[in-house]
Amino acid sequence: MNHRAAGSIDRIATLTGDTFNTNVIKGVGPIAVEFMSYGCGYCRAVEPFLQQVAETLEGKEQIFRVNIDADPELSAGFEVQGTPTFIMFSGGREVGRVEGIQPTLAGVMAVVTQPFNIQY
């Protein structure tokens, strides 16, 4: 289930245990993954800013989400303790992690780009 406003574009693909390896571990370029839950108020507050960041960074960095309620094994495998947790990957390896970010455009942009020194 996706909680987006009618007519809005979701720029962030939701990954599952079946698609995570292909898109992240074997993925190319900088990748940020938000481990989230639709019941998380913070996650809902971050969502519009994350959509803006995904649009701004299109072609420079990929951003995905994992719903921890739908894929608890995947989040447990990465030792996700709370939501939202952002894990950044490069070459299939974790290069950065931030738990509980500020729900602002600048806060989200800083978190997902910091390990990669991306200019936007």
Q: What is the mean pLDDT of each run of 10 residues along the chain (120 residues)?
A: 63 96 95 97 96 96 97 96 96 95 93 88
Among residues 15, 31, 43, 66, the one annotated as catalytic is 43
Known active-site residue 77: no
Q: Specify whether the CB–CB gap between 32 and 97 falls below 8 A.
A: no
3-state secondary structure of 88: strand
- Cα–Cα distance between 72 and 95 in angstroms, integer? 22
**pLDDT the model gives residue 3:** 53
| Any domain includes 26 | yes
Query: How many independent structural domains does the chain possess?
Result: 1
Q: What pLDDT is attached to residue 117?
A: 86
Phi-psi region of 70 (alpha: psi -120 to 50; beta: other; left: phi over 0): alpha
Max CA distance (Å), the chain: 36
- Residue 92's pLDDT is 95
Whether 7 maps to a domain, the answer reads: no
- Whether 40 sits among the annotated catalytic residues: the reply is yes
Provide the residue range defining the domain that includes 77. Answer: 13-116
In a domain, 22, yes or no: yes
Q: pTM surpassing 0.85?
A: yes
Q: Is residue 1 part of a domain?
A: no
Judged on CB neighbours under 10 Å (0-12, 13-18, 19+), 41 is exposed
Asked if residue 4 belongs to a domain, the reply is no
State the CATH number of the domain containing residue 112.
Answer: 3.40.30.10
Cα separation, 80 vs 72, in Å, equals: 9
In a domain, 59, yes or no: yes
Residue 3 placed within a domain? no
Whether 64 is covered by a domain: the verdict is yes
User: What is the pLDDT, as a whole number, of residue 119?
Assistant: 76
